[in-house]
Amino acid sequence: MPSRNPANDVEPRLRWLLSALLLLIAGWGLLDLVLDGPAAWRSAHGVVELGFIAACLLAVAYLWRGWMVATRKLTRSEADRAATQRDRDRWRQRATKLLDGLGVEIDRQFAEWSLSPKEREVALMLLKGYGHKEAAAVLGRSERTVRQQSVSVYRKSGLGGRAELSAFFLEDLLLPSGEDATAGEG
């Protein structure tokens, strides 16, 4: 359900208030002109009043047109935002399924390497791009402990460092080839 914006509740009242005020001013001007009589309509005073009445009526028309255009744009923007949000949610749902599968396979490989639970945590932090100091802060360990566990991960996996660890899991990760890959370009 869309959130309510308190400003949206005020705008229609302001629109009607401004319109009513301008129409009231135009009505007073017309009443004054009628009370002055038909001879006064061609005088300088009458021409000024007619111009003032016309200006008020044009202002009301201009304001309403602007409000209608803004309302249509807002409606389109909200619809576009909702569509984008639906697309994002669908993408996240699909990506979550794939990432869950990737997570299961990474965990399986960690088990194959006989990594301890603490080493698995460190290896996962390294895969996510954390440095030793950052991983230590997140995991609540000393930087020295994280470095030692990293060395143990590399020794057990037979890999030469963080780059090789990342490449082991991500090297074959490619964008789709052919027409599907270029369909989104344009």
**CA dist., res. 163 & res. 159, Å (int):** 9
What's the average model confidence in pLDDT over 127-136? Answer: 94
pLDDT at position 174, please?
63
* Residue 186 pLDDT grade (very low, low, confident, very high; cuts 50, 70, 90): very low
- Assign domain 113-172 to its CATH architecture: Orthogonal Bundle (1.10)
**Letter for the amino acid at 135?**
A
Question: Between vectors from CA 15 to CA 9 and to CA 21, what angle results, nearest 5°?
Answer: 135
Tell me the pLDDT tens digit for each residue of 38-56. 777 778 888 888 888 899 8
Tell me the two tokens of residue 180: 């599907």
**pTM of the prediction?**
0.49
Predicted confidence band of residue 78 (pLDDT cuts 50, 70, 90): very high
- One-letter amino acid at 66 equals G
Cβ contact 162:176 at 8 Å: no
**What 3-state class would DSSP assign to 8?**
helix
DSSP state of 85: H
Alpha helices in 37-158 (DSSP H): 44-112, 117-127, 132-139, 143-157
